[in-house]
Amino acid sequence: MKNTKIKFVSLFSGCGGLDLGFEQAGFQRIWANDFDENAQAVYRLNLGEIDGRDILTVDESEIPVGDILTAGFPCQPFSNAGNRKGVDDSRGMLYKECLRIIKAKMPKVIVFENVKGILSSKYIDGRNLPEVIKEDLETTFDENNIGYNVVYRVLNASDYGVPQNRQRVFFVGVRKDLNITFTFPNEQRNKTNLVLNQVLHIPAEVPNQVHWGLSPQALEMLEYIPEGGSWKNVPYEHLAPRFKKIRDNMKKYHSPNFYRRFSRAEICGTITASAQPENCGIIHPT
Ligand SMILES: C[S@@+](CC[C@H](N)C(=O)[O-])C[C@H]1O[C@@H](n2cnc3c(N)ncnc32)[C@H](O)[C@@H]1O
Protein backbone atom coordinates (compact mmCIF):
# COMPACT_ATOMS: atom_id res chain seq x y z
CA MET A 1 0.00 0.00 0.00
CA LYS A 2 1.31 3.41 -0.88
CA ASN A 3 2.46 5.35 2.15
CA THR A 4 0.81 8.73 1.87
CA LYS A 5 1.95 10.19 5.16
CA ILE A 6 3.74 13.52 5.01
CA LYS A 7 7.37 12.95 6.00
CA PHE A 8 9.48 15.08 8.25
CA VAL A 9 13.18 15.34 9.06
CA SER A 10 14.01 16.55 12.55
CA LEU A 11 17.17 18.47 13.46
CA PHE A 12 18.21 19.25 17.05
CA SER A 13 15.55 16.78 18.10
CA GLY A 14 16.37 16.72 21.83
CA CYS A 15 14.28 14.23 23.75
CA GLY A 16 11.68 14.41 20.97
CA GLY A 17 9.04 16.79 22.33
CA LEU A 18 8.34 18.46 19.01
CA ASP A 19 8.67 15.16 17.12
CA LEU A 20 6.13 13.44 19.35
CA GLY A 21 3.64 16.20 18.55
CA PHE A 22 4.34 15.87 14.83
CA GLU A 23 3.83 12.10 14.99
CA GLN A 24 0.63 12.46 16.97
CA ALA A 25 -0.57 14.89 14.30
CA GLY A 26 -0.08 12.18 11.68
CA PHE A 27 3.32 13.02 10.18
CA GLN A 28 5.98 10.38 9.60
CA ARG A 29 9.48 10.97 10.95
CA ILE A 30 12.16 9.68 8.60
CA TRP A 31 15.33 11.04 10.27
CA ALA A 32 16.21 12.71 13.54
CA ASN A 33 19.49 13.92 15.00
CA ASP A 34 20.86 15.01 18.36
CA PHE A 35 24.36 14.61 19.79
CA ASP A 36 23.35 14.51 23.46
CA GLU A 37 23.39 10.96 24.82
CA ASN A 38 20.74 11.52 27.47
CA ALA A 39 18.41 13.12 24.94
CA GLN A 40 19.02 10.16 22.61
CA ALA A 41 18.16 7.68 25.38
CA VAL A 42 14.81 9.36 26.04
CA TYR A 43 14.19 9.70 22.32
CA ARG A 44 14.82 6.00 21.66
CA LEU A 45 12.54 5.04 24.52
CA ASN A 46 9.64 7.16 23.31
CA LEU A 47 10.04 7.50 19.57
CA GLY A 48 12.72 5.29 18.07
CA GLU A 49 16.01 5.56 16.23
CA ILE A 50 17.97 8.78 16.18
CA ASP A 51 21.29 9.74 14.57
CA GLY A 52 23.67 10.67 17.39
CA ARG A 53 26.37 12.61 15.55
CA ASP A 54 27.31 16.25 15.89
CA ILE A 55 25.32 17.87 13.09
CA LEU A 56 28.44 19.78 12.06
CA THR A 57 29.94 16.46 10.93
CA VAL A 58 26.92 15.22 8.95
CA ASP A 59 27.01 15.73 5.21
CA GLU A 60 23.75 16.81 3.56
CA SER A 61 23.90 13.73 1.30
CA GLU A 62 23.45 11.52 4.38
CA ILE A 63 20.14 13.15 5.30
CA PRO A 64 16.97 11.97 3.53
CA VAL A 65 14.64 14.41 1.80
CA GLY A 66 11.48 15.08 3.76
CA ASP A 67 8.45 17.21 3.04
CA ILE A 68 8.98 19.11 6.26
CA LEU A 69 12.15 20.03 8.13
CA THR A 70 11.80 20.78 11.83
CA ALA A 71 14.50 22.27 14.05
CA GLY A 72 14.51 23.32 17.68
CA PHE A 73 18.04 24.65 17.41
CA PRO A 74 19.76 25.28 20.75
CA CYS A 75 18.08 28.00 22.67
CA GLN A 76 20.45 28.60 25.61
CA PRO A 77 22.07 31.61 23.96
CA PHE A 78 18.64 33.16 23.43
CA SER A 79 16.99 32.09 26.66
CA ASN A 80 15.75 34.67 29.13
CA ALA A 81 17.08 32.41 31.85
CA GLY A 82 20.55 32.33 30.31
CA ASN A 83 23.11 35.07 29.96
CA ARG A 84 21.76 36.22 26.61
CA LYS A 85 25.04 36.44 24.79
CA GLY A 86 22.93 36.00 21.66
CA VAL A 87 24.69 34.95 18.51
CA ASP A 88 28.13 35.79 19.95
CA ASP A 89 27.80 32.44 21.67
CA SER A 90 28.80 29.83 19.07
CA ARG A 91 25.70 27.74 19.85
CA GLY A 92 23.63 30.60 18.45
CA MET A 93 25.09 30.01 15.02
CA LEU A 94 23.83 26.44 14.82
CA TYR A 95 20.78 27.65 13.00
CA LYS A 96 23.18 28.19 10.08
CA GLU A 97 23.46 24.39 10.01
CA CYS A 98 19.74 24.30 9.31
CA LEU A 99 20.26 26.70 6.41
CA ARG A 100 23.02 24.49 4.99
CA ILE A 101 20.72 21.46 5.02
CA ILE A 102 17.67 23.38 3.77
CA LYS A 103 19.63 24.72 0.81
CA ALA A 104 20.63 21.18 -0.16
CA LYS A 105 17.18 19.62 0.33
CA MET A 106 14.67 22.42 -0.23
CA PRO A 107 11.87 20.78 1.83
CA LYS A 108 8.36 22.06 1.20
CA VAL A 109 7.91 23.38 4.72
CA ILE A 110 10.26 24.47 7.51
CA VAL A 111 9.32 24.71 11.17
CA PHE A 112 11.74 26.31 13.64
CA GLU A 113 11.00 26.50 17.33
CA ASN A 114 12.79 28.68 19.84
CA VAL A 115 12.43 30.54 23.13
CA LYS A 116 10.75 33.92 23.37
CA GLY A 117 14.06 35.60 24.13
CA ILE A 118 15.06 35.22 20.50
CA LEU A 119 12.64 38.03 19.63
CA SER A 120 14.88 40.62 21.24
CA SER A 121 18.18 38.98 20.25
CA LYS A 122 20.49 40.68 17.84
CA TYR A 123 22.54 39.26 15.01
CA ILE A 124 26.31 40.00 14.96
CA ASP A 125 25.72 43.08 12.80
CA GLY A 126 23.10 44.47 15.21
CA ARG A 127 20.04 43.50 13.18
CA ASN A 128 17.08 41.85 14.91
CA LEU A 129 17.77 38.08 14.84
CA PRO A 130 14.25 36.80 13.97
CA GLU A 131 14.19 39.21 11.03
CA VAL A 132 17.59 37.89 9.92
CA ILE A 133 16.31 34.31 10.12
CA LYS A 134 13.19 35.26 8.15
CA GLU A 135 15.28 36.98 5.49
CA ASP A 136 17.75 34.11 5.32
CA LEU A 137 14.92 31.66 4.67
CA GLU A 138 13.23 33.93 2.16
CA THR A 139 16.49 34.00 0.22
CA THR A 140 17.55 30.37 0.63
CA PHE A 141 17.47 29.24 -2.97
CA ASP A 142 18.13 26.13 -4.95
CA GLU A 143 19.03 26.33 -8.62
CA ASN A 144 15.40 27.28 -9.36
CA ASN A 145 15.69 30.46 -7.31
CA ILE A 146 12.81 29.55 -5.06
CA GLY A 147 12.85 30.71 -1.46
CA TYR A 148 10.31 30.53 1.35
CA ASN A 149 7.43 32.63 2.59
CA VAL A 150 8.07 32.95 6.32
CA VAL A 151 5.90 33.93 9.25
CA TYR A 152 6.81 33.76 12.92
CA ARG A 153 4.88 34.23 16.13
CA VAL A 154 4.93 33.49 19.85
CA LEU A 155 2.55 30.67 20.71
CA ASN A 156 1.51 29.45 24.13
CA ALA A 157 1.23 25.64 24.31
CA SER A 158 -1.80 25.98 26.59
CA ASP A 159 -3.68 27.75 23.78
CA TYR A 160 -3.40 24.50 21.81
CA GLY A 161 -4.45 21.86 24.32
CA VAL A 162 -1.23 21.32 26.28
CA PRO A 163 -1.58 21.59 30.07
CA GLN A 164 1.40 23.92 30.44
CA ASN A 165 1.89 27.65 29.98
CA ARG A 166 4.86 27.46 27.66
CA GLN A 167 5.56 30.30 25.31
CA ARG A 168 7.76 29.59 22.34
CA VAL A 169 8.44 31.31 19.04
CA PHE A 170 7.53 29.34 15.94
CA PHE A 171 8.87 30.15 12.49
CA VAL A 172 7.00 28.55 9.60
CA GLY A 173 8.43 28.76 6.11
CA VAL A 174 6.52 27.47 3.08
CA ARG A 175 8.35 27.06 -0.22
CA LYS A 176 7.13 29.79 -2.52
CA ASP A 177 6.28 27.59 -5.50
CA LEU A 178 3.58 25.84 -3.45
CA ASN A 179 1.52 29.05 -3.36
CA ILE A 180 0.22 28.32 0.12
CA THR A 181 -0.35 31.06 2.66
CA PHE A 182 0.24 29.68 6.11
CA THR A 183 -1.73 31.15 9.01
CA PHE A 184 -1.35 30.04 12.61
CA PRO A 185 -4.40 28.12 13.91
CA ASN A 186 -6.89 29.78 16.22
CA GLU A 187 -6.34 29.59 19.95
CA GLN A 188 -8.47 27.31 22.09
CA ARG A 189 -10.62 29.46 24.36
CA ASN A 190 -11.96 27.14 27.02
CA LYS A 191 -8.99 25.79 28.93
CA THR A 192 -10.64 24.41 32.06
CA ASN A 193 -9.58 20.88 31.08
CA LEU A 194 -5.91 21.91 31.29
CA VAL A 195 -5.73 22.97 34.95
CA LEU A 196 -3.74 20.80 37.32
CA ASN A 197 -6.66 19.09 39.02
CA GLN A 198 -7.77 17.84 35.61
CA VAL A 199 -4.39 16.39 34.66
CA LEU A 200 -2.84 15.13 37.89
CA HIS A 201 -4.62 11.82 38.01
CA ILE A 202 -1.55 9.61 38.06
CA PRO A 203 -2.64 6.01 37.78
CA ALA A 204 -0.91 3.62 40.18
CA GLU A 205 0.35 1.39 37.39
CA VAL A 206 2.56 4.05 35.75
CA PRO A 207 6.06 2.55 35.80
CA ASN A 208 9.21 4.33 36.88
CA GLN A 209 7.54 6.82 39.19
CA VAL A 210 10.49 8.51 40.86
CA HIS A 211 10.22 11.52 43.10
CA TRP A 212 12.42 14.46 42.25
CA GLY A 213 15.38 14.49 44.63
CA LEU A 214 15.32 17.96 46.15
CA SER A 215 18.01 19.24 48.51
CA PRO A 216 17.23 19.37 52.27
CA GLN A 217 17.29 23.15 51.98
CA ALA A 218 14.73 23.12 49.16
CA LEU A 219 12.54 20.68 51.07
CA GLU A 220 12.57 22.94 54.11
CA MET A 221 11.47 25.92 52.05
CA LEU A 222 8.63 23.91 50.53
CA GLU A 223 7.19 23.34 54.00
CA TYR A 224 6.20 26.99 54.08
CA ILE A 225 4.77 27.30 50.59
CA PRO A 226 0.99 26.84 50.36
CA GLU A 227 -0.85 25.68 47.28
CA GLY A 228 -0.79 28.59 44.80
CA GLY A 229 2.13 30.22 46.65
CA SER A 230 5.84 30.68 46.06
CA TRP A 231 9.09 31.39 47.91
CA LYS A 232 7.54 34.73 48.87
CA ASN A 233 5.55 32.80 51.51
CA VAL A 234 8.72 31.49 53.18
CA PRO A 235 9.52 33.44 56.38
CA TYR A 236 12.76 35.39 56.04
CA GLU A 237 14.52 33.46 58.79
CA HIS A 238 13.99 30.20 56.92
CA LEU A 239 15.55 31.42 53.69
CA ALA A 240 19.00 30.31 52.59
CA PRO A 241 21.54 33.17 52.46
CA ARG A 242 21.39 33.51 48.67
CA PHE A 243 17.60 33.90 48.85
CA LYS A 244 17.89 36.40 51.70
CA LYS A 245 20.12 38.50 49.47
CA ILE A 246 17.42 38.60 46.82
CA ARG A 247 14.61 39.21 49.33
CA ASP A 248 16.61 42.16 50.69
CA ASN A 249 16.55 43.83 47.31
CA MET A 250 13.58 42.51 45.37
CA LYS A 251 13.50 45.50 43.05
CA LYS A 252 17.08 44.93 41.90
CA TYR A 253 16.30 41.27 41.16
CA HIS A 254 12.93 42.03 39.48
CA SER A 255 10.88 40.20 42.17
CA PRO A 256 11.56 36.67 40.90
CA ASN A 257 8.82 34.12 41.40
CA PHE A 258 10.94 31.16 42.52
CA TYR A 259 9.52 27.98 43.95
CA ARG A 260 6.07 28.37 42.47
CA ARG A 261 3.65 25.81 43.82
CA PHE A 262 0.83 26.07 41.32
CA SER A 263 -2.65 25.52 42.67
CA ARG A 264 -4.94 22.81 41.39
CA ALA A 265 -7.06 25.52 39.75
CA GLU A 266 -4.15 26.80 37.65
CA ILE A 267 -2.41 25.64 34.49
CA CYS A 268 1.16 24.58 35.25
CA GLY A 269 4.04 26.89 34.39
CA THR A 270 6.85 26.13 31.95
CA ILE A 271 8.73 22.96 32.75
CA THR A 272 12.32 23.91 31.93
CA ALA A 273 15.16 21.61 30.89
CA SER A 274 16.98 22.01 34.20
CA ALA A 275 13.67 21.69 36.11
CA GLN A 276 15.03 23.41 39.22
CA PRO A 277 12.45 24.81 41.66
CA GLU A 278 14.07 28.20 41.18
CA ASN A 279 12.70 28.52 37.70
CA CYS A 280 9.87 26.11 37.18
CA GLY A 281 6.65 24.73 38.54
CA ILE A 282 7.58 21.18 39.41
CA ILE A 283 6.24 21.28 42.97
CA HIS A 284 3.09 19.27 43.47
CA PRO A 285 0.12 21.43 44.56
CA THR A 286 -0.46 19.44 47.70
C1 LIG B 1 16.31 23.06 22.60
S2 LIG B 1 16.87 21.42 22.39
C3 LIG B 1 15.68 20.77 21.27
C4 LIG B 1 14.41 20.32 21.90
C5 LIG B 1 13.49 19.57 20.95
N6 LIG B 1 13.06 20.42 19.88
C7 LIG B 1 12.28 18.99 21.68
O8 LIG B 1 11.15 19.34 21.32
O9 LIG B 1 12.44 18.18 22.59
C10 LIG B 1 18.31 21.61 21.40
C11 LIG B 1 19.07 20.32 21.15
O12 LIG B 1 20.14 20.57 20.24
C13 LIG B 1 21.14 19.60 20.50
N14 LIG B 1 22.39 20.03 19.87
C15 LIG B 1 23.14 21.11 20.17
N16 LIG B 1 24.21 21.20 19.38
C17 LIG B 1 24.16 20.14 18.54
C18 LIG B 1 25.01 19.66 17.50
N19 LIG B 1 26.12 20.34 17.16
N20 LIG B 1 24.68 18.52 16.86
C21 LIG B 1 23.55 17.84 17.21
N22 LIG B 1 22.70 18.25 18.19
C23 LIG B 1 23.01 19.37 18.86
C24 LIG B 1 21.19 19.57 22.02
O25 LIG B 1 21.76 18.35 22.47
C26 LIG B 1 19.72 19.73 22.40
O27 LIG B 1 19.12 18.50 22.70
Domain boundaries, the chain: 7-178, 195-286
Cβ atoms < 10 Å from Cβ of 106:
20
Report which ligand 1 atom has the smallest distance to the Cα of 113. 6
Q: State residue 198's pLDDT score.
A: 92
Q: How far is the CA of 223 from the centre of ligand 1 (A)?
A: 36
- Find out if CATH 3.40.50.150 is the number for domain 7-178: yes
Q: State residue 204's pLDDT score.
A: 75
Whether the CB-CB separation of 76 and 85 falls below 8 Å is answered with no
What residues contact residue 147 under an 8 Å CB cut-off, 6+ apart?
137, 138, 139, 140, 141, 175, 176
Per-residue DSSP letter, 65: P
Instruction: Please indicate whether residue 21, judged by its CB atom, sits closer than 6 Å to ligand 1.
Output: no
Q: How far is the CA of 72 from the centre of ligand 1 (A)?
A: 7
Reported pTM: 0.88
- Angle, alpha carbons 42-133-62 (nearest 5°): 50
Q: State residue 3's pLDDT score.
A: 66
Q: State residue 14's pLDDT score.
A: 96
Instruction: Give the active site residues.
Output: 75
Question: In angstroms, what CA-CA distances link 116 with 68, 75, 183?
Answer: 23, 9, 19
Q: State residue 138's pLDDT score.
A: 93
Instruction: Please indicate whether residue 92, judged by its CB atom, sits closer than 6 Å to ligand 1.
Output: no
What residues contact residue 96 under an 8 Å CB cut-off, 6+ apart?
none
Query: What is the spatial distance between Cα 72 and Cα 53, in angstroms, rounded to a whole number?
Result: 16
Instruction: Please indicate whether residue 17, judged by its CB atom, sits closer than 6 Å to ligand 1.
Output: yes
Residues of the chain with pLDDT under 70: 1-3, 75-92, 142-144, 279-281
Q: Tell the residue nearest (CA) to atom 1 of ligand 1.
A: 74
Q: State residue 215's pLDDT score.
A: 84
Q: State residue 271's pLDDT score.
A: 84
